[in-house]
Structure 1
Amino acid sequence: MTTEQVHFDLSKFNPGFPLDRFQQDAIESIDRGRSVLVSAPTGTGKTVVADFVVAKSLAESKRVIYTAPIKALSNQKYRDYTKAHDPKKIGLVTGDLVINHNAPMCIMTTEILRNMLLQDRDRLADLSHVIFDEIHFLADPERGTVWEEILIYLPKQVRILGLSATIPNDEDFAAWLGFVREERIDVVRETRRAVPLRIHLFNRQAGMVTRRGFEAQARRHRSSGAARAHRGRGRGRRRNDRTRHDQIISEIAPDLLPCLYFVFFRRLTETFARQLVDEIDRPFLSPEERERTESILETRCSGWHEDLLRDRELYVNGVAYHHAGLNVMLKALVEELYEERLIKVLYCTSTFALGINMPVKTVVFDGIQKFNGQRMQPLTVQQFMQKAGRAGRRGMDEVGHVVVSQEFCDFEQHKGSFDRYERGKHESVHSTFNLSFNSIVNLLNAYEMMEIQDIVNKSYRNFHHRRVLDGIGEQIEEVRGSIAKLNGGMSAESIDEEDDIDDTPQLRKRETAILGRIQERIHGRREWLQTSPRWQAINEAMECPESLLRLIAEELAETPKHRAARVRRLRRNIKSDCAELRTIREAHHHHLHGGHPADSSEGRTAKLEKRLATLQRKRRREERRLYQGLFEKVHFLQEIEYLGPGNELLSGGEMLRHIHIEEVFVTEMVLADVFDGLDDAALFGLLASVCSDFPRRAALRTRAPNQLRDLIRWVGKIRRSYVVTEAERLNGVRSSFSPEILCLARLWAEGKTLMEIMLLVDSTSDISGDLVSAFRRAKDLAKQLRDVYHAEPAMQTQLSRILRQVSRDEVEVLD
């Protein structure tokens, strides 16, 4: 039977509960063959729409791809869909794990799909739909470009489903999607949650109270003098003055359990879980639940190393912890117990918010500040709601409870954040488009430069930038029209009279365009501006450019010299915008209230011609900005001789085409013959060392072996070379090289167990999951190098042998 003869009957789709209106609307649009963007709060059931796409595609014998931002979510969706459908029809491709890759329904990370579109488009010839889970990740500074690339590269006949948390600019985002996809995108929006959230603040003096109640108590606390005494103790303040996690659990247990307790330091998830079990006077599990837990532990943990069973007492009491560094076997066990509702208190980090889609009654935050790589920063509304949205079980709870641990002395600092969380106004999605070197050489291998410029022009960033250019173009035409009138004999005074009638709406339009441009400039640099203590004030001063300029000047004064150039450039651009805005506002005032007598025609013509020249220079400058990043990178690749003068791929460029991890760094190692002559274990160790950073709070208990020290110095020299550091600058991402991981991965390739390797590590938290992640990425890199060494059978054989040796135990577990 042909695919045209089969149509999935909408009435046969039964998720097991009545559909909400927004779910029905989205499903009906998809059934009509439309692409759809669904914008709805976390926990409202967006996944049901994706389930319909999968069921429809499989029933109609069409191919569908489900993309997720992280591997853990990809693995979870694979488990879900293999339970719901014939496992033979479901595949998983995440770089390190490949299962049934030719299946009609395939789950993969976005990077894998982008690479297929660049290098193996034929495999996607019969693709019907692509589902983008968490499509708002397009705004992620490090990985967002991949989402944009996929949306631009996908064949036009492919329909898309974008699932997003609430975004205020969904119509604008859909307009860009429609422009790129050359089709109308249906926007389905849901603003209400099926289970409303109630936010409480907690400390040991106030108990669990509403925001208003807490604010009143904070005022009384300040006026009583207790706050001054509290601050006076300074660094000598006793730790037990602070609110403890077990006090919050005692407050909410048992009526508001189960709960997710979000902590932003891995070691604290482990510490808190063990402390809680030591403190509680009664288990959180009933005798029947405890018996079920014991049965699962006996079945799953048979033959496990004793170190993996050290937290058995936590599990039988209904307590656990979860973070990215956790041993993959334990991670899978904790997730199974959680899905079986046998974990009543789970201490976890942010990664869990994107993992298992199972709500709880209560979500607790140990605080609302998180380290962003440079400093502690309040959670954005998006980050807060991604976690808080897990509270409230549909059909079981009337309300979902969110509890935030908050001290009176910190409340003034965080009031603005709580205001934003309660208003629930999410941050807009903005482009972070920045083509990688790998993407550029693959595009140059397939397209002419003009075609690549057209691809870059379709980015979400340039979609907005084109509006700026359109505004400048309109101004140029207005000035040209005025000059033509003067040259045609019309007096300057009569032109002013005409302008009084026609120009006021145009001036307002230009004013709006400039304010929009200023907002775009700020949001385009929010990655580093968000680290500033002035970020909130900067964000709120967007409509008042003069105040904004003052804030940027203050920021410049406190910025280190090596980072001042970008702040200075931003200040210069906004200063230019302010000058233009002043001119427009003065003209607007003149139109409304009158002004000085009109200039002579000759004087007015000279002014207009000067204005025209300024606008034309500005347009040329802004047009260069459209492709500036692309041209800079192409010039760099020519400079280091990866590309020839006509942009043809030279040997370095051909190698770079296959390398997606530490692109230029690894290519430089290949060109320097670093991999030649290494034994299997050292080669795998070296690959792993550039795939991940060693955790900051961990250290090796032993030094690197003598035979590796020369290799480490050699690779370190390449890492510090001009080519690699300039590539880092242009990409905006620092390259990884971890000699510690090199030593540990070498042992894995030699056959040592993960527990044996962990004996060589000093760490305040479990980092075995980090090591497994590095080993898996090293496998992916080894596969990429096999393509690089396609003409060298000996190296290909060695890499294939390494892949067999390291593909075992935890590295092969589907976590």
Structure 2
Amino acid sequence: MTTDDLDRPGPQLTAFSDRIGFTLDPFQQQACAALETGRGVLVCAPTGAGKTIVGEFAVHLALAHGTKCFYTTPIKALSNQKFHDLAEAHGAENVGLLTGDNSINSSAPVVVMTTEVLRNMLYAESSTLRGLSHVVMDEVHFLADRFRGAVWEEVILGLDPSVHVVSLSATVSNAEEFGDWITTVRGDTAVIVDETRPVPLHQHMLVGKRMFGLFDRKHPKQVNPELTRYIKHRMLSDDAVGNYRERLARERRRGGTGISRPTMVRLLDENGLLPAIAFIFSRKGCDGALVQCLRSDLNLLEPQEAATVDEIVERHLLALSPGDADVLGVEEWRAGLRRGFAAHHAGLLPMFRQAVEELFVAGLVKVVFATETLALGINMPARSVVLERLVKYNGEAHVDLTPGEYTQLTGRAGRRGIDVEGHAVVLWTPEVIPDRVAGLAGARTFPLRSSFAPEYNMAMNMIDRLGVEGSRDLLRRSFAQFQTDRSVVGQARQLDRARMTIRKINSELAHATERKGLEADAFLEYVTLRDDIKQRERSAKFLRRMEATEAVSEDLLALKSGHVIGLNTGRHRGLAVVLHAATIDLDPRPLVLCEDGWTGRVGVRDFVNPPEVLGHLRIPKSANRRSAHGRREIIGMLRSSGIERPTGRNTKKSKQPSMADRQLQELKTRLRKHPVHKMNGLDDLHRLSERRQRLLRDISGLERAVDERTAALETEFDAITGVLTELSYLEIDDSGELVVTPTGSVLRRIYSESDLVVAECIRAGIWDRLAPPDLAAVVSTMVYESRRDSYAGGVDSMPGNKELRDALVATVEVWEATNAIQDRHGVVQTREPDTGFCVAIGAWAAGRSLREALLAASERGQLLSPGDFVRWNRQVIDLLEQVRGSVDPDAPLASAARRAVKAVRRGVVASELD
């Protein structure tokens, strides 16, 4: 089929165009035309370009043909928004919603859902899949997400071949490669790439109170020289730089960047750049920006607009009780909205976020301080986007924004049909170099990389549906393997070239040594001997470093509660007292309280030398280690203990030479006695031989890499099936095939990150007799993750009844036993159960108020926002439903899970599920 064919609309596309009432862009026309001819499509286009029109045409086609269309999204907020859009377009009776914790009209011909829900349907072989003709995968580039990306590949691989897949992606540089893979696994797929933004985007930098264009007008690829000169002028002025940095330090302590948020908003307003989204990569920063604006006299709305805000806000708060409204700070939140500004992040209640979204689209909120989740497809375009920093926390460390992330965030700027142009504004600080901003803004290379890897639940469901060989075939057909195979082809070519070069060098060496009167073999023997010595010396150095690490690990494992040690690296230095000993041998991490007030776990990386016990502190039982008051009491004891700070110590000890040391000395002796060692004038031969040795190492590495890459997924799969077989979730049947056991059917229905531990706890029966609030509390340990700056406390210190504490102890024992088995098979261990949400959800499930539940969390050191509280409750509900569905409906556990869900699903939690 030619491009001309795709430019001619068929009858359904003509009818669709007439209904929507506007002319399609060329890329939309081509993609829709391909769909109407029965092909799958992959559409890659910038944010705001209108990719979803292609997905909406798939919905139109399914309804026109009397079949079904599933519309999948990566986040529930986007699913909810798309559900309302499609219901308005096609009628509520024709559109349903499934998000794990919400089910509306699920038998409708069009169902919007999160991608995980569709994956679970495929594994369960749900009858809802009958009649399915189209699946829209919005934001399909999410398959690169390291935590959830595998789900997208599972769906693409698992759908019936007759289903047409509509993949909608942000612009990626390897769209053709991705399209080739989809064509390989799904059949004929049209790849439509459009890199033109419908609204041009202009790049700016705000330096102090002056706005500059980032690029030179005459030379669009070069940084604006006026901007560079102005920054240099500021930096060269010692007084100005000193004052600025001092002010910047003060602002950063409050979460700012050297210019107040009200001032920034006024500057945007003066430059005609409102409405705006200001991306701040922390919830605390977003809330701090909102408070700054509230304390100022900034007001962006007229009185009649504020009155309209009140009407919309009241509609969103109908389900909220007066008591909850007080706890949630509704009046302060409303005060910001009435003046035209708001925060938007996951810590807010969904009803708050939805109100902000509606008000922003209506033009009643002029500036939103948001985290990056707002960039994930939610329909909130703005005239401008502001980036306060170019660094964000990725869950493990603070990292620079990638060009793809920069493009995704700034892509929100420019409202199609409203704005002539969009604007991206980066705030300048001494650390922000214009050239780097220009590099981010001008980059066009955003490769899509697979994150697919086999996991327990996936392996169980694949084996149950496809058998072991079928599962291996599916792994081989993954995008991960597709990319590996392509890279292996390149590596194989490198191998061929390296081997040809080696042969050429061997020939050159033979002639060169002959001219020197040397035997080539003798010279190569000398070179090999010298290289062997170098490698052994490197290995010995690595071994010494490993021995030092093991010494630190052993000493950490030996630390007991009350031991006082010294910290000499990282941000926290000085004395620290051990609150809880390490619980596992692998990377032991005891919990310590430092004299500067920091509490956290320390590990091998925090010590250069093994930790020395400097003394012992007897901590009274009355000192509550989890409360701020209790920690201050312990710090006072530590400071007054008289224990001296460490001065460091030398861990080197004299010891007898090892066998490896003696062998190394023997090799060096042989080297010195070798006839070639004392010969002069061999520099050219040595250079040639060094090149040969490097090539030999390269060849060895490439050979190893090819072997490892081609077998990596299957090796991982074999390790996982080894664990499952040892635990009797899989067994070999009479025909010699590996099959799922009746016990394994439980694990097939658990879709948690801690799926194996959950299944083991169910099998052990340790949750069977728990009351519903206690069951909710224990299940929460499988999903909840404490913030990195807080500590939930150990199971032994959990308040509550004996049944709950016993169940928690037993759960941790199951986790430890499971990890021991995983370790034997070389599988990454499951994270530790986290008790940080137990008290809060236990109180909530027992009927306590929202205020009491949040207070209970704070007393355990967990400062939960209302949005987090609802979000974690949702996840617990989701897992409780999985637990209920994995066991006999008449079992006590099923009954307790059902009642626990009912107990949790109330108040603000229930209102967010309606």
State whether TM-score is above 0.5.
Answer: yes
The aligned runs of 1:58-77 (5 Å cut-off) are 58-77=63-82
- Counterpart of 1:790 (choices 879, 883, 888) is 888
In 2, the alpha carbon distance for the partners of 1:791 and 1:317 equals 53
Q: 2:192 aligns to what?
A: 188
Residue 685, structure 1, aligned to residue 777, structure 2: yes
**Map of 1:772-783 to 2, 5 A cutoff?**
772-783=870-881
Within the candidate set 268, 274, 282, 2:291 is matched to 274
Name whichever of 69-78 and 129-138 sits farther off: 69-78
The one-letter code of the counterpart of 1:138 is L
1:320 aligns with 2:342: yes
For 2:731, what is the secondary structure of its paired residue? coil
2:715 alignment partner AA: Q
Q: For each residue in 1:514-566, what CA deviation from the matched residue of structure 2 results, as whole angstroms up to 9, or x when unmatched?
A: xxxxxxxxxxxxxxxxxxxxxxxxxxxxxxxxxxxxxxxxxxxxx9699xxxx
Tell me the distance in 2 between the aligned counterparts of 1:561 and 1:280: 47
Q: 1:636 to 1:733 in 2, by over 3 A?
A: closer
Distance in 2 separating the partners of 1:207 and 1:480: 57
Q: Per-residue displacement from partner, 1:10-69 (whole Å, max 9, x unpaired)?
A: 234333432211111111111111111111100111111111111221222210001111
Q: Are 1:54 and 1:105, in contact at CA under 8 Å, matched by a contact in 2? A: yes
Tell me the equivalent position of 2:809: 713
Are 1:264 and 2:281 an aligned pair?
yes
Shift in CA distance, 277/47, structure 1 to aligned 2, threshold 3 Å: same
Q: Give the 3 Å change call, closer, same or farther, for CA 441–339 of structure 1 in structure 2.
A: same
Q: Is the 8 A contact 2:889 2:895 kept in 1?
A: no
SS of 2:739's equivalent in the other structure is coil
1:285 aligns with 2:304: no
Greater shift after overlay, 432-441 or 471-480? 471-480
Instruction: Select which of 301, 310, 313 maps to 2:331.
Output: 310
Higher mean alpha-carbon deviation, 664-673 vs 728-737, is at: 728-737
How far 1:191 sits from its partner (Å)? 0.8
Please identify, of 340-349 and 788-797, the stretch whose mean Cα deviation from structure 2 is larger: 788-797
SS in 1 for 2:168: strand
> Which stretch shows the higher mean deviation, 220-229 or 429-438?
220-229
Cα distance, 1:430 vs. partner? 1.0
Residue identity matched to 2:326:
E
What's the counterpart of residue 533 of structure 1?
none
CA RMSD of aligned residues (A): 3.6
2 CA distance for matches of 1:693 and 1:449?
34
Q: Secondary structure at the match of 2:780?
A: helix
Residues 490-530 of structure 1, C-alpha deviations (whole Å, 9 max, x = no match): xxxxxxxxxxxxxxxxxxxxxxxxxxxxxxxxxxxxxxxxx
Q: Give the partner amino acid of 2:835.
A: P
1:428 maps onto 2:523 in alignment: no
Query: How much has 1:349 moved relative to structure 2?
Result: 0.9
Q: 1:731 to 1:423 in 2, by over 3 A?
A: farther
Take 2:176 and 2:314, find their aligned partners in 1: how far apart are those partners? 52
Q: Which residue number corresponds to residue 252 of structure 1?
A: 268
**2-side partners of 1:137 and 1:286: how far apart?**
41
1:675 CA displacement = 0.5
2:910 is matched with: 812
Q: Retained in 2: the 8 A contact 1:134–1:164?
A: yes
Query: Residues 497-508 of structure 1 correspond to what in structure 2 (within 5 A)?
Result: none
Return closer, same or farther for 1:813/1:465 CA change in 2, 3 Å cut-off: same
Aligned to 1:139: 144
Rounded Cα–Cα distance in structure 2 between residues aligned with 1:318 and 1:387:
22
Deviation at 1:794, TM superposition (A): 2.9
Cross-structure match for 2:833: 737
Q: Distance in 1 between the 2:306 and 2:871 partners? A: 32
Match of 2:757 in 1: 665
Structure 2 letter corresponding to 1:735? R
Calculate percent identity across the aligned residue pairs. Answer: 30
> Secondary structure of 1:432's match?
coil
- In the alignment, is residue 38 of structure 1 matched against residue 58 of structure 2? no
The correspondence for 1:197, drawn from 201, 219, 230, is 201
1:441 alignment partner AA: M
Cα distance, 1:101 vs structure 2: 1.3
**Counterpart residue number, 2:161:** 156
Partner of 1:504: none
User: Against the structure 1 CA distance between its residues 83 and 766, is the aligned structure 2 distance closer, same or farther, given a 3 Å change threshold?
Assistant: farther
Residues 643 and 653 of structure 1 are in contact (CA less than 8 Å); yes or no, is this contact kept in structure 2? yes
Residue 367 (str. 1) matches residue 367 (str. 2): no
Going from structure 1 to structure 2, the CA distance change for 1:750 and 1:626 (only over 3 Å counts) comes to closer
Change (3 A) 1:475 1:267: closer
Counterpart AA for 1:263: I
**3-state DSSP of counterpart to 1:107:** strand
Matches within 5 A, 1:641-656: 641-645=728-732, 646-650=737-741, 652-656=743-747
1:219 to 213, 232, 255: 232
Letter in 2 for 1:711: A
Residue 461 of structure 2 corresponds to residue 442 of structure 1: yes
Q: Distance in 2 between matches of 1:364 and 1:315?
A: 19
Which stretch of structure 1 is more off in the superposition, 288-297 or 721-730?
721-730
| Shift in CA distance, 258/672, structure 1 to aligned 2, threshold 3 Å | same
Superimposed CA distance per residue, residues 415-449 of structure 1 (whole angstroms, 9 cap, x where no aligned partner)? 43x13322141420011110221010111112232
SS of residue in 1 equivalent to 2:141: helix
Which residue matches 2:900? 802
TM-score (norm 1): 0.77
Deviates more, 1:724-733 or 1:632-641: 724-733
CA distance in 2, matches of 1:207, 1:615: 51
Distance in 2 between residues matched to 1:315 and 1:21, nearest whole Å: 39
Q: Deviations over 1:163-215 (max 9, x none)?
A: 1110111011100110111x221111111111111111113264455352433
Quick check: 1:749 aligned with 2:845? yes
Structure 1 residue runs of 5 or longer lacking an equivalent are 1-5, 482-558, 563-595, 597-610
**Distance in 1 separating the partners of 2:491 and 2:360:** 57
- Secondary structure of the 2:740 match is coil
Q: Which digits, 9 at most, give the CA deviation of each residue in 1:283-307, with x for residues without a partner?
A: 2112221121122234443554234
1:360 partner SS: coil
Quote the offset at 1:736 in angstroms: 5.9
Q: CA deviation at 1:111?
A: 1.1
Structure 1 stretch displaced more, 283-292 or 203-212? 203-212
For 1:717 and 1:659, locate their aligned partners in 2 and report how far apart those are by CA, in whole Å. Answer: 20
189-198 or 333-342, which deviates more: 333-342
Q: Does 1:462 align with 2:466?
A: no
Alpha-carbon distance, 1:127 to partner: 0.8
Counterpart of 1:453 in structure 2 is 472
Aligned to 1:592: none
How far the C-alpha of 1:696 sits from its partner, in A, is 4.4
Unpaired segments ≥5 residues, structure 2? 1-9, 216-223, 501-603, 608-684, 686-697
Q: Distance in 2 between matches of 1:301 and 1:673?
A: 42
Distance in structure 1 (CA, Å) of the matches to 2:889 and 2:727: 23
Distance 1:82 1:72 in 2: 15
Contact 1:7 1:60 survives alignment (8 Å): no
Paired residues for 1:364-763 under 5 Å: 364-407=386-429, 409-412=430-433, 415-416=435-436, 418-468=437-487, 622-645=709-732, 646-650=737-741, 652-661=743-752, 662-696=754-788, 704-707=799-802, 708-723=804-819, 726=822, 735=831, 737-762=833-858
Q: Would the aligned equivalents of 1:95 and 1:777 in 2 still touch at CA under 8 Å?
A: no
- State the match for 2:548 in structure 1: none
Deviations 1:312-343 (A, max 9, x none): 21111111111112123322322232232211
Structure number having the greater helix percentage: 1
Inter-partner Cα distance in structure 2 for 1:478 and 1:371: 42
Contact 1:692 1:736 in 2 (8 A): no
Q: Which residue of 2 aligns with 1:532?
A: none
Q: Which amino acid aligns with 2:286?
A: T
Contact between 2:207 and 2:231, CA under 8 Å: does it hold in 1? no
